[in-house]
Amino acid sequence: MKIDGKTALVTGGASGLGAAAVRRIVASGGNAVLLDVQEEKAKALADELGKAALFCKTDVTNEKNVMQSIEKAKATYGGVHICVNAAGTGWAERTVTKTGSHSLANFEKIVRLNLIGTFNVASKAAFAMSTNPPDENGERGVIVNVASTAAFDGQIGQTAYSASKGAVVGMTLPMARDLSGLGIRVMAIAPGLFNTPLLALLPQDYIKVLNESVPFPKRMGNPEEFALLLEQIIRNPYLNGEVIRLDGALRMAPK
């Protein structure tokens, strides 16, 4: 699908991988709608990018809120063609500790944001895309969900996070099959270690260890590299129903 003139919903678009996706889409001639709860950061980015970017304060787990944001996107730009689900967070807690079992509330919170939020936005975006006129390839839309390499080799303490991202991986193919008749493709990217604001808070000596753990190139990924892969997925009409690891051949150790 051509990006020029198309409109993309980007959850978690205020920072990190989401912000890189927003910048790439706008630079490619598209419009980006930032769905995020980080009001200050999202507004600043939207203001910087001008008329091609729109911020909609959105709780991705809230059905009504998501529908309102999609309707605003359609009213502003005329439709929705691309959906990038980058909103999510991590959590570290062992299944059993000295004080008891893993907090069920914390487990539910991670699954609700990372998995249910992703499905909520993806399914509603797909419905909006279903009314688009097909392009020359018969496409009406593209959905790219963000998983994680933790879906495949989660570390100690990542039970909740790995479960949520593993489910994002698991729904990629059936969702692609569900939407194939509508001309909507579904892909997932599973990033490894990336230089995001969250990881930047870690001590420099620990960041050095993380860099050296990557086989090649021996560093964390840059958000722009994530955005580059995203662009290729959007543009390549034969990529569908697949999960692509983006991790420099990294396989995480148990801890």
Kindly list the distances between the CA atom of residue 155 and the CA atoms of 86, 114, 149, 255, in Å, as whole numbers in the listed order: 21, 17, 10, 5
Instruction: Name the nearest CA neighbour of 191 among 146, 242, 145.
Output: 146
Sign of CA dihedral 9, 176, 238, 243: positive
How far, in Å, CA of 11 to CA of 115, rounded? 13
CB 85 within 8 A of CB 144: yes
**Beta partners for 36?**
57
CB 35 within 8 A of CB 61: no
Look-up of token digits 């892969």:
229
Q: Which two tokens stand for residue 87?
A: 């909103």
**Whether 161 is catalytic:** yes
Q: Which two tokens stand for residue 78?
A: 């005329």
The values of phi and psi at residue 246, to 5°, are -130, 85
Q: Which two tokens stand for residue 167?
A: 């489910």
Q: 104-126 burial string, b = 16+ CB within 10 Å, else e?
A: eeebebbbebbbebbbbbbbbbb
Kindly list the distances between the CA atom of residue 250 and the CA atoms of 44, 196, 218, in Å, as whole numbers in the listed order: 34, 17, 10
The residues assigned a catalytic role are 161
